[in-house]
Amino acid sequence: MRAVVQNDKGRASGRAPAGVRVGLTVLVLAAIASGCAQGGGSDQVAPAGGQQPLDAPPARALASYATKLRAAHAARAAAAHRWDLRKVPLAAPPAPEKKPRIKTRKGFQVDGHLERNLPPVFTTVPTRDKVVFLTIDDGAEKDRVFLRMMSDLDIPYTAFLSGYLVKDDTRYFRKMQSRGVVLNNHTLHHPNLRGLSYRAQKREICGMQRYMEKRFGKRPALFRPPFGSYDRATLRAAKACGITHVPLWNEEVFADRWEYREADRRLHPGDIVLTHFRGRDQWKGTMADMIHRFLNKVTAQGYAVGRLEDYL
């Protein structure tokens, strides 16, 4: 599915990934430096009575952290084996301390975008981290196997929900939310917003904000217009409803194929990937099939799956 934009005019491996090994090396050096600072260097003598030297606490903390890293990787490797992935999904890097500046993609602006300080519309997050972000739209399919798979593999994703599709099973999405998934706004009734009046668009967006607060306890900060179709009234309404960002997508993954916005047909650091809550009645496969295709590709190309909200 292509965005329509208009202006007003495998098998498990027992070896830790390279990122983990580098991180452990840094921690080891930090612990050594900490111990030297506290104990005065390599000539330190253990206190009388058999007590541990002063650098023991940092060393113990490092060993404990390393143990946790190994356990986390082993758990992910076991999950990858259970779900028959080709390789163990890579662990995402830590969330950036300084968030990247998000700007509207060139050609996606509307008249007065900067002057009115309207929410940025973007398809990729500016980052050097080799991560992509998985986003899932609408809410039509309530696939329990998908929920178990994503929880078991500990893969982050972001949901954009439409009210009329989720109202028959809000428990499914509350369970998703309890596992750390952020639920966002995809309008009440999933109309093509472009060309509708400002008032009509505001009803769709603000109405979904109120619905989300009532059903899930929080008004979202992110909004995705249905079909990726919007105009200036859309972004004005979104801002009035409390929306700060409008992420679109650079790739779309299905159960049987990928589609690309860019001519090079490649993943790029920070790309947002779209998919949908869909099943066999609309796809050639299940949501679990789609996740297999998604993870096998991104892992083979050296990408981890990040949490979109960590970068915004």
What's this model's pTM, rounded to 2 decimal places? 0.80
Phi/psi of residue 121, nearest 5 degrees: -110, 120
pLDDT-derived band at 55, boundaries 50, 70, 90:
low
Predicted pLDDT of residue 56: 61
Final residue before a domain boundary, out of 31, 52, 82: 82
CB of 30 closer than 8 Å to CB of 79: no
Are 248 and 298 within one domain? yes
Residue 90 inside a domain? The answer is no
Are 125 and 78 within one domain? no
Distance of CA 158 to the CA centre of its chain: 5
Are 65 and 163 within one domain? no
Are 188 and 271 within one domain? yes
Q: How does strand 251-253 pair with strand 258-260?
A: antiparallel
User: How does pLDDT run across 129-176, given as a tens digit for each residue?
Assistant: 999 999 999 999 999 999 999 999 999 999 999 999 999 999 999 999
pLDDT-derived band at 20, boundaries 50, 70, 90:
very low
Residue 213 inside a domain? The answer is yes
Q: Is the pLDDT of residue 2 over 60?
A: no
Residue 162 inside a domain? The answer is yes
The DSSP letter of residue 44 is -
Are 151 and 212 within one domain? yes
Give the range of the structural domain holding residue 68, as residue numbers without chain letter. 18-82
Residue 98 inside a domain? The answer is no
Of residues 53 and 44, more confidently modeled: 53
Residue 106 inside a domain? The answer is no
Final residue before a domain boundary, out of 57, 82, 107: 82
Helix (H), strand (E) at residue 21: helix 18-39
Are 297 and 248 within one domain? yes
Are 74 and 182 within one domain? no
**Mean pLDDT, range 245-262, rounded to an integer:** 98
CA 241/CA 96 separation, integer angstroms: 27
Predicted pLDDT of residue 289: 97
Predicted pLDDT of residue 68: 78
Are 40 and 176 within one domain? no
Final residue before a domain boundary, out of 82, 100, 129: 82
Phi/psi of residue 227, nearest 5 degrees: 65, 5
pLDDT-derived band at 206, boundaries 50, 70, 90:
very high
The encoded tokens of residue 145 equal 């196997």
**Mean pLDDT, range 34-46, rounded to an integer:** 41
CATH number at residue 297: 3.20.20.370
Predicted pLDDT of residue 10: 39
The encoded tokens of residue 289 equal 């099939």
Predicted pLDDT of residue 62: 76
Q: How many domains does the chain have?
A: 2
Instruction: For Cα atoms 311, 153, 308, give the angle at the middle one, nearest 5 degrees.
Output: 10
The SS3 call for residue 258 is: strand
Q: Is the pLDDT of residue 185 over 90?
A: yes
Are 217 and 69 within one domain? no
Counted residue by residue, the chain has a size of: 312
Distance of CA 286 to the CA centre of its chain: 20
Supply the mean pLDDT for the chain.
Answer: 86
Q: How does strand 272-276 pair with strand 131-138?
A: parallel
Residue 283 inside a domain? The answer is yes
Helix (H), strand (E) at residue 137: strand 131-138
Are 256 and 167 within one domain? yes
CB of 229 closer than 8 Å to CB of 194: yes
Residue 96 inside a domain? The answer is no
Q: Is the pLDDT of residue 63 over 70?
A: yes
